Every structure is written in structure tokens, then in C-alpha cells.
Amino acid sequence: MDSDSDSDSDDDDESLEDPSPLLSIPANYMRGRRTSVSAESMVPSHQNYVKTVISKTPEQRKRIELSIASNFLFKNLDEDQHEDVVNAMAEKRFRSRETVIEQGAVGDYFYVVETGTLDVFVAKNGNPSEKVFEYGPGGSFGELALMYNGPRAATVITTSDVVLWALDRITFRRILMENTSRKRRMYEAFLETVPLLVSLEPYERHKIADALESVYFEDGQTVVRQGDQGDNFFIIESGEATVTKCSEDGEEFPMPGLGPGEYFGELALLNEMPRAATVKAHGRLKCATLGKRAFVRLLGPVVEIIKRNSVNYQTIEQQLQQHQQQLVPVSSASASASASPAPSSPALPSALPPLHPQLQLSNI
């Protein structure tokens, strides 16, 4: 009997992240059993949706975070989504020898083990169930319940008093869909303002928005380095970045910094040119990134359109070289700060003659 039926735990399909025999579900274990698979209809932008926040100790949060870090369902979540998942997990307690989930039952929950131990049993071909795995603190199971309203692939029974943290399917999907929808809307709105992508149709920007991934950089961390081969395009979501460029004799020159909504690395989407400047995080930096392969795969025809403007990129590089002698090296900028004011060096890229209408480039 599934003791979770009374405590909302008759739920977790037994797809295990660990390489256990449960990954090989008997092909006929559902024989003679009538089941259905269904999915809830969600409205990601539901105005009445309030995030669930359940209090946890720092130790509990750390254990949950470690448990879900390597799980395939959570690998592509950004930091905000991870935070929402951890916040929403509810504590569930079981005594020794209680059934948490039962093979063949419909599952609704994903579990992370806080304390205690559990055994996993699978019945094959109508034979009595056999123990195939066991869980201890930090283990997790039932992740497929977050994707499908399907039957459990195994039975999980406690072998001691246990404390579990549970995440229900509806909450997970609402968190994931709400955050994904919010991020998509944000990216789409921004992409409409990016001159590099001005020729795209709305559905094409929609595809790019879905392909963007969030990455984080700590203060002083290098995002791209001058001379390295580039294969990613970056959009700053939050934070700031410094930009410097080295001359042939090794002098480092400052360039205009970058902030939220600005982008860099677009040259990597066009050709195999090395990075033309170095970008570092100034404080904590969050960027959306798109790889060249994804860009070409999703928007091959658009790449050809942009390549027709590639002469503008080459022109910018030539103009930068012409203006470099007017820039103040980073090493001497601080030394001259206390001296008598010198004529300010021309700002880039505003000092450059206008290029293609609406085409503003980061030259990185």
C-alpha cells in the first residue's frame, strides 16, 4: 500500500539519476494494467501565481542544491530557477518500513533525501520484486514525475525514519514555465533592439530567445580574451564589464565599458576571426550567450544577410588601428590622473565615422 496516498507522496516515478538497474524498466511490467499519461495545462504568465517559499536551514538548502545539481532536469536552469525550486520543496517524513512510492502507481513528486535510508525494489515479468538499489542522505529519485503523469518504475521503501524534500510536478512546471516565459519575453524584447538582428522576423527572434543560455562571471573574471578564437555571442543581462585592447607592442588601452542590454562577440557569428579585445566582469556579471553553431543552425539565411555587411566589420578594425595612437594606455591612465588635465582621447565607437545605418558593433 502506498502510504504516500495520504501525505501526497504516492507520487514519484522511479527514474533514477544514478546508474542503477532501474534505468532498464521491464518492457512488460505494465502488462494487464490500465494507465494513462496526462499533462496539466499551464498558463505560464498566470497573474495570480505566487511563488512557494518553504523555510529551510542553510544545511538543508545546500543538501538539496547538491542533489539536484547533476540531475538532467535541473542542469539547464539558471540561478533564479534553481532558487525557486529549492524554495518550493516541502518536507515529508516517513517512519521505517513505510512505502514512499509503489511500482505502477501514478507519480506526482520528485524527492531529495535529507536523512535516513531507503531501498528500491523492481518486479519483473510477474516475479516477486527484488532489491536493486538503495538511497541515503543527498540521494534523489522520481524526477520523471516532474515531466509526466506516468506510472512508477519501482517501489521505494524506507529502512529507517526518513526526512524527504518533495517537489510536486505542477509547482515544478509552473516555476520552469514561468521563468522560461519571463526570460523569453525579456530576450525577445531586447533582440528587437539589437541592430545586428534587426532584419529578423518575430518568429526568428523567438527561436534565438529560446536558444540563449545564461552564464555568470565573478568580479575580474575574463569573459573573452583578445586573440582567442571566438565562438559565442554575449548579451549582458545584469552587471557591467570592462573592455581593453592591446596594441602590437603590448600596451593595453581602455575601451568603452559595457552594461545591461549591450552585447559583444558578434564577430564570432560571422567568421573565424580571433577576439579583437578582452572583456572582463566588473563586479558580478550575468550574460545570455548564443553559440555560433546554434545561430547558424537556427538562422542560416540570416547569417548570410549579415555577412553581406562584413565589410563594415573589417572597416571598424582598420579604424580602430588608426585611432589607437590617440588612446591612453591603461598603465599610464592612472599615473596621469593627478597631473594636469590632458585633452580627452576620442571615445569609441562614437569617434568613428558612421558605418551601415542601424548597424552598431562591439568589435569584440
Count other Cβ atoms within 10 Å, centred on residue 362.
22
Cα–Cα distance for residue pair 141/143, rounded to 1 Å? 6
Q: What is the pLDDT of residue 51?
A: 84
Cα–Cα distance for residue pair 190/340, rounded to 1 Å? 42
| Distant-in-sequence, close-in-space partners of 74: CB < 8 Å, separation ≥ 6 | 68, 82, 85
Higher pLDDT, 109 or 266: 109
Least confident of 203-207, 239-243, 298-302: 298-302
Quote the radius of gyration of the chain (alpha carbons, Å).
27
Q: Per-residue pLDDT averaged across 142-148, rounded?
A: 81
Q: Using 50, 70 and 90 to split pLDDT, how confident is the model at 300?
A: low
Q: What is the pLDDT of residue 3?
A: 45
Report whether pLDDT(346) > 90.
Answer: no
Q: Per-residue pLDDT averaged across 134-146, rounded?
A: 88
Report whether pLDDT(325) > 60.
Answer: no
Q: What is the pLDDT of residue 167?
A: 92
Would you give the DSSP letter of residue 143?
Answer: G
Q: Per-residue pLDDT averaged across 87-97, rounded?
A: 95
Q: Per-residue pLDDT averaged across 7-28, rounded?
A: 40
Indicate the angle between helix axes 169-191 and 202-211, nearest 10 degrees: 130
Q: What is the pLDDT of residue 261?
A: 81
Q: What is the pLDDT of residue 349?
A: 43
Helix, strand, or coil here: 50?
Answer: coil
Q: What is the pLDDT of residue 132?
A: 94
Q: Could you identify the residue written with the cell 516517513? A: 94
User: Is the N-terminal amide bond of 195 cis, ω within 30° of 0?
Assistant: no
Q: What is the pLDDT of residue 326?
A: 55
- Find, among 236, 237, 254, the residue nearest to 245 by Cα: 254
Q: Per-residue pLDDT averaged across 71-81, rounded?
A: 78
Mean pLDDT of the chain, nearest integer: 75
Q: What is the pLDDT of residue 322?
A: 56
Burial level of 268, CB count in 10 A (0-12/13-18/19+)?
Answer: buried
pLDDT digits (tens, 9 = 90+) for 19-42: 333 333 334 334 444 444 444 554
Q: pTM, whole model, 2 decimals?
A: 0.52
Report whether pLDDT(123) > 70.
Answer: yes
Helices marked H in 57-201? 58-69, 79-88, 169-191
Per DSSP, what are the bridge partners of residue 224?
Answer: 279
Here the cell at position 252 is 593595453
Q: What is the pLDDT of residue 229?
A: 87
Q: What is the pLDDT of residue 224?
A: 95
Strands 155-158 vs 140-141: parallel, antiparallel or unpaired: unpaired
pLDDT digits (tens, 9 = 90+) for 253-295: 999 999 988 888 877 666 677 898 999 999 999 998 988 888 7
Q: Using 50, 70 and 90 to split pLDDT, how confident is the model at 209?
A: confident
Q: What is the pLDDT of residue 269?
A: 67
Map out the domains of the chain with their CATH numbers.
3-18+45-174 (2.60.120.10), 192-325 (2.60.120.10)
pLDDT digits (tens, 9 = 90+) for 226-256: 999 888 889 898 999 999 999 888 888 999 9
Q: What percent of the chain has pLDDT over 70?
A: 67
Interior CA angle at 145 toward 141 and 149, to 5°? 155
